Amino acid sequence: MLTPMKADIRHDWSLEEIRELHDLPLLELVFRAATVHRQYHDPREMQVCKLISIKTGACPEDCAYCAQSSRYSTGISPERMLEKEAVLGLAARAKASGVSRVCLGAAWREVKDNGQFDRVVDMVKGVTDLGLEVCCTLGMLNETQARRLEEAGLYAYNHNVDSSAEFYETIITTRTYADRLNTIENVRKTKVTVCSGGIIGLGEQVSDRLKMLQTLVAVQPHPESVPINILSQVEGTPLAGQKEVPVWDVIRMIATARILMPASDVRLTAGRARLSATEQALCFLAGANSIFSSETEYMLTPAVPSPSYDADAELLKILGLVARAPFDNPNAPRAGELANRVPTVESCAVSA
Ligand code: SAM
Ligand code: SF4
């Protein structure tokens, strides 16, 4: 069966349909995903992003994968919030290295209306003024806080669903799945785009991965960016010592996400440092069109490695890819196009 002329943007994929796609013979799945990718994206373009940890460590939550939880001894020591000038310096160097999106991450459970949030809003304004897309990943957010970030020029807000609703409860107990969907809903009430995805390699079943994709597909419009993390195992966390995810599982997740959410940026995120150039090339062929890169060779903390700007520039050159310019995403929603429709935990369970 040939791939339909232009892959539809759908929100009603059944789990059976997703399973049928995901379990296709691998190269057929990659071919279909690559075909869909070309219908919505310039296949030569790669969005290069940079994570900046503006507040590191001492997080009260118990996310079983996380280096920054105060519940686990991972060797990551708490740090004070970065000064705005330091953030702007990192952002300017990132832009000079081809980065188009800077993501400000805080080891917080939620945003609090205090002086630290005022400083984050100021950072968002400053990095936006550098001509970069700014994303924040600060934990849970209410609507008023989402509006403040929107007024400051925030481009995207990251809040991952991480896994299926059922499996999620086995890895995080301090924040519910409904809390996560609620934050996504609050962001959706603004013009800020949604970045939401999850992690594979947590010990989940394939069905959990497919249910996670089904949750993401039910968000209307689809999250504008979908990070697919591979568990980056951190010594001292409960999930250290897991069996590593085979690269074929990563490629299947990327390709399936691409076909389900054709217009979204699919980002190959944590765990990419573990993949060879050839394995990454297959992920890009399967529709991953966004990566995190770094001058420090790690993501938010030294516990989670990341390829460097130089290594990525070399890889993109070998593969004939170019870094996408800021605000140059042809699929980004225009103002007013956002429909506020986010699934509820009940609806996730129902469509399972
Ligand atoms: N504290 C904020 C929160 O939890 O919403 C944002 C920071 S957290 C780094 C953002 C996401 O990174 C998590 O939701 C998770 O999906 C991913 N992540 C964190 N640690 C990871 C790891 N060791 N391996 C893979 N993904 C990870
Ligand atoms: Fe805290 Fe976020 Fe890490 Fe969870 S993922 S422990 S909320 S920093």
pLDDT tens for the chain, residues 1 to 352: 554 567 789 999 999 999 999 999 999 999 999 999 999 999 999 999 999 999 998 899 999 999 999 999 999 988 999 999 999 999 999 999 999 999 999 999 999 999 999 999 999 999 999 999 999 999 999 999 999 999 999 999 999 999 999 999 999 999 999 999 999 999 999 999 999 999 999 999 999 999 999 999 999 999 999 999 999 999 999 999 999 999 999 999 999 999 999 999 999 999 999 999 999 999 999 999 999 999 887 888 888 889 999 999 999 999 999 999 998 887 765 444 444 557 777 666 544 4
Instruction: Say yes or no: CB of residue 162 within 6 Å of ligand 2.
Output: no
For the chain, the first-to-last Cα distance in angstroms comes to 26
Taking the C-alpha atoms of residue 249 and residue 247, their distance in angstroms, rounded to an integer, is 5
φ, ψ of residue 37 in degrees (nearest 5): -55, -40
- Dist. CA 63 → ligand 2 center (Å): 6
CA distance 298 to 212: 26
What tokens were used for 120? 């984050």
> What is the Cα 129 distance to its own chain's centre?
23
Q: Which residues is 57 bridged to in the sheet?
A: none
What is the enclosing helix (H) or strand (E) of 165? helix 165-171
17 CB-near residues (< 8 Å, 6+ apart)? none
Q: What are phi and psi of 101, to 5 degrees?
A: -135, 130
Cβ atoms of residues 309 and 59 within 8 Å: no
Torsion angle of C-alpha atoms 92, 96, 100, 104, degrees rounded to 10: -30
Query: Which of 296, 271, 300, 269 has the alpha carbon at shortest distance from 106?
Result: 300
C-alpha 49/C-alpha 99 separation (Å) is 5
The helix-helix angle for 15-22 and 206-217 (nearest 10°) equals 120
Residue 69 Cα to ligand 2 middle (Å): 6
Measured in Å, residue 319 CA sits from the centre of ligand 1 at 28
Which one of 59, 81, 137 would you pick to mutate in the ligand 1 pocket, going by the greatest count of ligand atoms within 8 A of its CB?
A: 137
Q: Is 63 in the pocket of ligand 2 (CB under 6 A)?
A: yes
**Residue 66 CA, closest ligand 2 atom number:** 3
> Are 318 and 250 within 8 A, CB to CB?
no
Widest CA span in the chain: 57
Residues with a known catalytic role: 59, 63, 66, 103, 135, 195, 267
Which H or E element spans position 156?
Answer: strand 156-158
- The token pair that represents 204 in the structure block: 């989940």
Ligand nearest to C-alpha 57:
2
HSE value, Cβ hemisphere, 13 Å, CA-based, for 344: 3
Q: How many CB atoms are located within 10 Å of the residue 52 CB? A: 21
User: What span, in angstroms and rounded, lies between the C-alpha atoms of 319 and 43?
Assistant: 11
Atom of ligand 2 nearest to the CA of 67: 3
CA of 199, nearest ligand number: 1
Using CA positions, which residue lies closest to atom 4 of ligand 2? 63
Domains in the chain with CATH codes: 15-324 (3.20.20.70)
**pTM of whole model > 0.85?**
yes
The dihedral of CA 212, 215, 217, 222: what is its sign?
A: negative
CA of 232 relative to ligand 1 center, distance in Å:
10
